[in-house]
Chains A and B, each alone.
Chain A
Amino acid sequence: MSPMRILIVEDDPEAGSYLVRAFKEAGHVADLANDGLDGYAMASEGDYDVLIIDRMLPRMDGLSLIGGLRQQKVSTPVLILSALGQVDDRVKGLRAGGDDYLAKPYAFSELLARVEVLMRRNGHSLSEPVAYRVADLELDRLAHKLTRKGREIVLQPREFRLLEYLMQNAGKVVTRTMLLENVWDYHFDPQTNVIDVHVSRLRAKIDKGHEVPLLHTIRGAGYMIRDSLR
């Protein structure tokens, strides 16, 4: 995928530089701001694809920063990082104008996946396409129909939504929590392999009997649907 320009606003220098390095290694461009005011200035001037903002920041609180940007009509997607907080932190963060929320401690793979998905939201037009296509797999959202190599595959409603989300983010890693959030609409950490079982059922339906698998497991991160031949 094309590289993103990411601004990280994080007051812990070690955590911040680690994130910058990690995003660079993942093929993106990342800048670091050490406090809320710097972050605010850089975010309003620079042309970033995604902002990663820590909730607790010196000189300007993370939520105020986001509120200020939104008032200035800066609509860059924001992912909020939060250390320790209340149960409703996520709700507060999203209400303040954040687009996604991740609580520390988190795995970098989770952050990367979420940031990459956030950018898609920004890059594309508001309306979702009517159909998704990955290699020979076609999903028609309007007709609620799935075909591979022209042969129809019957899915349960939940499986359909699962595949829809995966195809919507084709070529990107989607984590288990992201699936639980977007397919089931629950925001907690599934402690077991409960999502895996759903995915492997789906995989059995779309990949079984085909030479080229489309639904891949990315170790330590999640899943990805992609055309392996490309």
Chain B
Amino acid sequence: MTAFVKLLRTTAFKLSLVYLLAFALVAGAMMVWAGWRAKQLFDDQIASTIEVEIAGLAEQYRQLGIRGLVEAVERRARQPGASLYLVTTFAGETVVGNLAALPPGVIQRPGVVETGYQRIGEVEQRRRALARIFILPGGFRLLVGRDLEDREALRRIMTSALTTTLLWLTLIGTIGGIWVARRVLLRVDAMNASVQKIMQGDFLGRLPVNGSQDELDRLAENLNAMLDRIEELMNELRQVSDNIAHDLKTPLTRLRNRAEEALRRERTGEDYRATLETMIDDSDNLIKIFNALLMIARVEAGREQDGNSIFDLSQVAKDMVDLFEPLAEEANARIVLDVDQGLKIKGNRELIGQAIANLLDNALKYGLPDPAQNQAVLENVQSSALISVRLSHEKDKVKLVVADCGTGIAEQNRERVLSRFVRLEMSRTKPGSGLGLSLVSAVIKLHGGKMNLEDNEPGLRVVVTLPALVDSPRSVG
């Protein structure tokens, strides 16, 4: 496709053609109408002039007879710019007048007529006139007419004006259309080129914006915003896979090292057995990490699930506290449960259960005051540390709060800690994969809820709000 054809195919060009056509039609119609009105004005004026003259001449005839009429006609015909006059007998023979020739038969029909004529003393000049023929008593015919030359001149001027106008209109319109189309096409081409470059791998490229704030500019700005968002997501994804690779490399290397070490020299069957058992533990840990990763991916990809049901969130919270109670006791902590009864929500009971379990697990792992460092805190909080689980109903929301009394999470880390494999404990001495909160966050999102990490002074307070079940009469029964 040549550049020119491309230009002609643009919407801008087609639109300007349509406008041009519409404009030409309207302009043409207006000029034709104006011409017609002007002609009418002319005709009316001529007709009234003729009327007056005929009335005058008829009066002459009535008072002075045919002689008087002839005199009057002769007198008038001599004046400059005179009208056309002709008096004939009933047979058509000329009595007096300044007309040399008329088409045959015209004089026999009374009334207004437009006709060609020839004036006396003029040779072979075709003229047109508007005339009125009047039959006088006695059979004489009187014709009074006016030349139409002025009207014809006007018509010619109008016609040429019309054609010239239309010609220029078409010319300017087409050139203008091409110009506009070219302008738009240039910018769209630039945008297309940028998009193509981005598709070919230049992910940092952006569409050109000229700051004019017109529709193309706004489109480009929006597309750029979209590209920014995609880049952000891609970076996140890259970060995640980097983290995954890194975090899985360490345990895999450890696993391999153990096997290598066991093979390095002869050992007793007992030793081999012990090594193999440790290796199985390590592999189980890896499997757990994989399962957790897959679970997060599934939850994040999930939409409305078949597994959704209406369940008692209060019961799930109680079950989870019951599940973790012995663990808490071992850690010299206490879980305090403060739950509104019978709060039901719609969702996946297993996932919500796991989310609460993860929150409790976190609280027990990282939310207890370090006895060595925080002796004072420990004394303040009675003999055992407290973890509280509160569940309450607030308007159309269900609010779940899991709070601990550990070191909490610094404000700048609260967003980051939700990402996969992010562990704030740099030494990594405590067990954990850095996936717990990621899963909680994904589960809460899947259920249309929100999760906020707040300062419990001291400690971390995780505030989860989930949409409460809308009580319809049916669901109550």
State the A residues within 8 Å of B (CB): 84-88, 90-92, 103, 105-107, 109, 158, 180, 184-194, 197-198, 201, 219-220
Q: Which residues of B (432-455) have their CB < 8 Å from a CB of A? A: 433, 436
Residues from chain A with a CB closer than 8 A to the CB of B283 are 107
Q: Are A87 and B319 in contact (CB under 8 A)?
A: no
**Does more than half of chain B's interface fall in helix, strand or loop, or is it mixed?**
helix
Given contacts A91-B307, A191-B288, A220-B281, 4 further A-B contacts (CB under 8 A): A86-B306, A106-B287, A184-B319, A186-B319
Q: How far is the CA of A194 from the CA of B328 in the complex (A)?
A: 9
> Top 6 closest A-B pairs, CB basis?
A88-B307, A220-B280, A188-B354, A197-B326, A88-B306, A91-B307
Q: How far is the CA of A197 from the CA of B330 in the complex (A)?
A: 8
B332 to chain A, nearest CB (A): 13
Instruction: Name the contact of A92 in the complex, choosing from B280, B299, B306, B357 (C-beta under 8 A).
Output: B306
Q: How far is the CA of A175 from the CA of B142 in the complex (A)?
A: 131
**Does more than half of chain A's interface fall in helix, strand or loop, or is it mixed?**
loop
Known: A85-B298, A92-B306. A189 touches B288 (CB 8 A): yes
Residues from chain A with a CB closer than 8 A to the CB of B277 are 219-220
Residues from chain A with a CB closer than 8 A to the CB of B327 are 192-194, 197
A interface footprint on B318-335 (CB within 8 Å = 1, 0 otherwise): 010011101100100000
Q: How far is the CA of A186 from the CA of B349 in the complex (A)?
A: 8
Q: How far is the CA of A107 from the CA of B324 in the complex (A)?
A: 24
Residues from chain A with a CB closer than 8 A to the CB of B31 are none
A interface footprint on B270-309 (CB within 8 Å = 1, 0 otherwise): 0000000100110110011011101100110010011110
| Complex A-B: 26 CB contacts under 8 Å | A86-B298, A87-B305, A87-B307, A87-B348, A87-B351, A88-B305, A91-B307, A103-B294, A107-B280, A180-B323, A184-B322, A185-B319, A186-B319, A186-B323, A189-B288, A191-B288, A191-B292, A194-B323, A194-B324, A197-B327, A197-B330, A198-B323, A201-B326, A219-B280, A220-B281, A220-B284
Residues from chain B with a CB closer than 8 A to the CB of A92 are 306
Q: Are B306 and A186 in contact (CB under 8 A)?
A: no
Residues from chain B with a CB closer than 8 A to the CB of A109 are 280
Residues from chain A with a CB closer than 8 A to the CB of B353 are 186, 188
Verify if B201 is at the interface (C-beta below 8 Å from A): no
A38 to chain B, nearest CB (A): 28
Instruction: Name the contact of A190 in the complex, choosing from B305, B319, B357 (C-beta under 8 A).
Output: B357
